[in-house]
Amino acid sequence: MSLHSHDMDLFASRRLDEPRGKKKRSIGKSKSAKRRKPIETQTNLQLPHDAAAHVSAHVNDPIAMKHNAIAGALGCEPRGAPGEHASANQHLEHLAKLFTSRPHDTLSTSAARARFGQCHKISVNSRKWEEQFLHEPTGCKRPCVNFASGCCFAGSLQTGELSDLNLTLCEFYVPAEYEQIKAAGWDWPKEAKPCLLCLRVEIYSRFIETRCNALSCTESINYATIGNIVGEAGEYTADTCFLSRPDRYEGVLHPVVVPTVFDYGIMLVNGSRHLKQKLPYPEDANASFFF
């Protein structure tokens, strides 16, 4: 019994003298050594001198792909030879040029007039000129082209007791056309023309169709051959006119009066019926508008 206890004590002392975890550390080191692989970077990557392999390595490089994507978004070509990254300062310089360049003013109506004025024949008429044609045809003046079909807009006006479904107005001519007819000895064109109200209705109906369908017109299309002056003394106010949106050309380049059935009154002048516009004047509305 004493010998056996002595052997047990000797065995225990040897276990205490041995370094702990030595065997486990050696096993762990060998496993990690098998799993780890040397990381290849661009500095230690040995590329062949073959041009195809050189370009292929550049295309697959994620950093180069990122720079090329930035260059494409900025609208510039990536600089440098294949396999070389474009400098970020070069892209920033190009971006700075875009910010410092003069912007295109697409919200300015005056800019659109200057651009479209060469391809469109538009007559901007004063209120005084238009009111000269708001009466029944007298003398040598001819009735509206829609009078024959009984659909002149003047017959739809809600003017009270003097309203008449057969009411029609004379043809409307812009100053340039009227001067040509006068110079030709009052030789009227063969084709009759609409009155001022029917012309406004025609333009407004096309405008509403374009606006409701969220469409835009090309620069070569213009169905509004007349325009009005707004914001000046003796003219119209902006809230009584319609116009293309600032960010979308809808075929109406200048303001045109909105046709309604309640903004006119009928009065007799020398036995003929004349229309009086109830639309406010800018000086009465005490407002200023910019177009």
Q: Are residues 203 and 85 in the same domain?
A: no
Task: Among 77, 101, 125, give the residue marking a domain's end.
Answer: 101
Torsions phi, psi for 273 (to 5 deg):
-85, 130
Per-residue pLDDT averaged across 208-237, rounded?
89
pTM recorded for the entire structure: 0.59
Q: Are residues 142 and 225 in the same domain?
A: yes
Q: Are residues 147 and 278 in the same domain?
A: yes
Q: Are residues 117 and 41 in the same domain?
A: no
pLDDT tens for each residue of 152-188 = 999 988 776 556 788 999 999 999 999 999 999 989 9
Helix (H, G, I), strand (E, B), or coil: what is residue 30? helix
pLDDT band at 219 (very low <50, low <70, confident <90, very high): confident
pLDDT value of position 198: 96
pLDDT tens for each residue of 245-264 = 888 888 898 999 999 998 99
Q: Are residues 235 and 149 in the same domain?
A: yes
Query: Residue 290 has which token pair?
Result: 């910019």
Task: Among 46, 66, 101, give the residue marking a domain's end.
Answer: 101
In a domain, 9, yes or no: no
**Count: domains in the chain:** 2
CA dist 15 and 130 (Å) reads 118
Task: Among 73, 101, 129, give the residue marking a domain's end.
Answer: 101
Cβ burial, residue 64 (10 Å; 0-12/13-18/19+): buried
pLDDT band at 63 (very low <50, low <70, confident <90, very high): low
Residue 229 has pLDDT above 80, yes or no: yes
Which residues neighbour 57 within 8 Å (Cβ) at sequence distance 6 or greater?
Answer: 45, 47, 83
Per-residue pLDDT averaged across 217-222, rounded?
78
pLDDT value of position 90: 67
CA dist 148 and 274 (Å) reads 20
Domain that holds residue 47: 22-101
pLDDT band at 97 (very low <50, low <70, confident <90, very high): low
CA dist 126 and 228 (Å) reads 6
Q: Are residues 211 and 88 in the same domain?
A: no
Greater confidence (94 vs 75) lies with: 94
